[in-house]
Structure 1
Amino acid sequence: MSVSYGDSPARQVIVEKAKEEGIVWLGGLEEMWTRCMGDNHDLECLQYLHCTSSTLHNKLSRAEQVTIFRLRTGHNRLKHHLFSRFKIGDGPNCPCGANRQDAQHVLQDCPLLDDARLKYWPEPREMNQKLYGSALQLGITAEFIYASDLTI
């Protein structure tokens, strides 16, 4: 199932900030990520894009919220959860050969997703930032999952 998240509130915040910054918007998050989040000292940008988990319903689409929640809790459709909880599938192993296909593996380690990971996070990011960061960071995590064609 292919879903478009091009008009989500989180993306609109990014697009508006990109316009303010004079960035030509080409539909990707990479330049905005580099400009805003690459420099941890850019306090104005961080304050603009930062939101608490209690206000995420205003920043992320329902589908993005569900994706982040499932990744946070481990209650998702990745092989490890399906096999260990419901005995669905042939095992918890990732197609790359790793022992567990779980959120940690998918977001941080899976070699099959290295290219996509580099596209969305040119600089390494901690798991905590990917799952509990600002609305921008959570939007990027959701976009990465959708682009990876994983069912969460």
Structure 2
Amino acid sequence: MSDRTLDIKGIMAAIPHRYPLLLLDRVAELVPDEGCIGIKNVTINESFFQGHFPTDPVMPGVLIVEAMAQTSAVLVVETLGPDARGKLVYFMSIDNAKFRRPVVPGDQLQLHVKKVQRRMSVWKFTGEAMVDGKVVAEATFSAMIRDR
């Protein structure tokens, strides 16, 4: 990967997600048209921990996959550059999702995504979410970029 990074302002300029569903704090590495690594710092202040589960907080697996998808959306926008302004990246499919261990407050998710293929407006990715160098979740997913 490269040392190209994005802070939260760059992420918010790239994708439309906002609190409480913005699940990406930083992009640590990005290589356009190849892959990137996103960072999500998991804290007890996340709104989903109020109900999942109050006495034993665990980040929902579907939100881990969403964080991987948001990382991929940033990759798409950064790859397409000015052509992506005003467009949205929509989830199309999730395949082979696996969850290896719970993600809890205090964990830092490293979201490793790689482009597998691109056909016109449809992109396919593989993703791994890691905590302390260990895979906690993985999935293959696709998305479509379209006008708002």
TM-score after normalising by structure 2:
0.24
Larger helix proportion, structure 1 or 2?
1
Structure number with greater Rg is 1
Larger strand proportion, structure 1 or 2?
2
